């Protein structure tokens, strides 16, 4: 696709709940074990919101962190896009709440939903607005608080998810400096029943006299079918996005996949011939944070100097819908706070809980 303007990512940020819930903690809720969860998923712990934390709060924290990384103020943002499946309310949108909180008074703001692929869809939409010359700075946030939609008595699902927010800042560039090299988006609603949350939709039974049915309020999943879908979707999306970028999989320095399960990530990387050290993961410490997982994985890796800058990265997502997609980006952005970033209170808090 030909765009009038180029785009590049100039910031990444994170918003995380304070509480860490370990696999051991979950053994007190359901019949499971640390060994089972880690072997089948790679997850050791996840962050879960407390009563005072919310999707809007996490998204705002991620936004502020990404703005600081980029060294810019909120009032220079012209569009806020929030990808989420678990907003605090049906409206106002999370994006409008973030827009107000960061003082982006000129910005247009809206939410969109493509489940765990949401951040890839949102990046692509942001790129379109920049590419058309409409906006120069776009804040793209992925946030999910799945813990409020999980059945904490269902060991098949409650062990998989964590809460969190991740954000990117996109900025217009000259065409010659374009760093959003290629994208690929897909959807297949025929698989919608494989992963769904009926809660809050118009088909959700009214609380009424009998009250909601516990088996239909929460996230439902066919784990095996989703696994099969994912190990095919990731290689397809990576190959197609690299082709759109005019490069091959061998030209990628890093793959930053949606952090659902380490087995899915490894199987997909093997199929693509991508080496272990090229795969960016933090599923062990955050679980599946849905729309937030890709920026959160990259945020962790950058903070720990695990990725070289500049480099070529393939961000790749998959999830409910079904949806899947990928974005190939050249990453040149460094944290404008310098050393201050790694000594910030939040960074130390995260480090303390994962080391």
Residues known to be catalytic: 116, 258, 288
Site for ligand COA in 256-275 (CB under 6 A): 260-261
Choose, by CB under 6 A, the member of 223, 266, 306, 334 that binds ligand COA.
223
Encoding tokens for residue 92? Answer: 């106002």
Site for ligand COA in 273-292 (CB under 6 A): 288
Q: Which CB, 160 or 315, lies closer to ligand COA?
A: 160
Q: How far apart are CA 232 and CA 299, in angstroms?
A: 26
Choose, by CB under 6 A, the member of 40, 239, 336, 346 that binds ligand COA.
40
Q: How far apart are CA 236 and CA 206, in angstroms?
A: 40
Stretch that binds ligand COA, among 32-40, 57-65, 104-112, 279-287 (CB under 6 A): 32-40
Cβ-based neighbour number of residue 43 at 10 Å: 26
Q: Which CB, 39 or 89, lies closer to ligand COA?
A: 39
Choose, by CB under 6 A, the member of 49, 159, 292, 298 that binds ligand COA.
159
Tokens 């906006």 belong to 135
Listed in sequence order, the DSSP H helices in 132-198 are 155-158
Choose, by CB under 6 A, the member of 96, 169, 226, 291 that binds ligand COA.
226
- 319 sits near ligand COA (criterion: CB under 6 A): yes
Sign of CA dihedral 336, 342, 348, 349: positive
CA 139 to chain centre: 14
Cβ(86)–Cβ(43) under 8 Å? no
Show the binding pattern over residues 180-219: x = contacts ligand COA (CB under 6 A), - = does not. ----------------------------------------
Q: Which CB, 28 or 224, lies closer to ligand COA?
A: 224
- 114 sits near ligand COA (criterion: CB under 6 A): no
Tokens 């201050």 belong to 340
Cβ(130)–Cβ(4) under 8 Å? no
Q: How far apart are CA 87 and CA 301, in angstroms?
A: 27
Half-sphere exposure (Cβ direction) of 129: Cα atoms closer than 13 Å: 21
Q: Which residues bind ligand COA (CB under 6 A)?
A: 32, 36-37, 40-41, 116, 155-156, 159-160, 221, 223-224, 226-227, 260-261, 288, 319
């Amino acid at each position: 696709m030909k765009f009038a303007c180029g785009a590049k990512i100039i910031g990444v940020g994170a918003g995380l709940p304070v509480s860490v819930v370990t696999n051991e903690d979950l053994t007190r809720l359901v019949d499971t074990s640390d060994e089972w969860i880690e072997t089948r998923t790679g997850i050791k712990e996840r962050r879960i919101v407390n009563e005072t934390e919310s999707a809007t709060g996490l998204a705002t924290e991620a936004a502020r962190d990404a703005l600081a990384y980029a060294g810019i103020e909120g009032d220079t943002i012209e569009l806020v896009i929030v990808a989420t499946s678990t907003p605090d309310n049906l409206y106002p949108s999370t994006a409008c709440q973030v827009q107000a909180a960061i003082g982006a008074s000129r910005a247009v703001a809206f939410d969109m939903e493509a489940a765990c692929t949401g951040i890839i869809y949102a990046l692509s939409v942001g790129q379109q607005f920049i590419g058309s010359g409409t906006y120069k700075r776009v804040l793209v946030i992925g946030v999910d608080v799945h813990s409020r939609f999980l059945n904490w008595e269902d060991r098949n699902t409650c062990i998989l998810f964590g809460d969190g927010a991740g954000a990117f800042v996109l900025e217009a560039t000259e065409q010659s400096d374009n760093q959003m090299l290629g994208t690929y988006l897909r959807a297949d609603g025929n698989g919608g029943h494989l992963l769904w949350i009926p809660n809050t939709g118009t088909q959700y039974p009214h609380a009424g006299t009998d009250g909601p049915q516990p088996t239909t309020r929460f996230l439902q999943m066919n784990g095996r079918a989703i696994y099969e879908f994912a190990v095919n979707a990731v290689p397809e999306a990576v190959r197609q996005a690299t082709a759109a970028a005019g490069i091959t999989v061998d030209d990628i320095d890093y793959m930053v996949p949606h952090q659902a399960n380490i087995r899915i990530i490894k199987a997909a990387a093997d199929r693509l011939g991508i080496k272990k050290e090229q795969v960016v993961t933090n599923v062990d410490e955050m679980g599946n944070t849905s729309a937030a997982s890709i920026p959160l994985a990259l945020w962790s890796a950058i903070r720990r100097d695990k990725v070289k800058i500049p480099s070529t990265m393939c961000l790749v997502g998959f999830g409910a819908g079904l949806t899947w997609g990928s974005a190939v980006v050249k990453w040149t952005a460094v944290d404008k706070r310098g050393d201050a970033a790694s000594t910030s209170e939040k960074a130390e808090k995260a480090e303390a809980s994962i080391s």
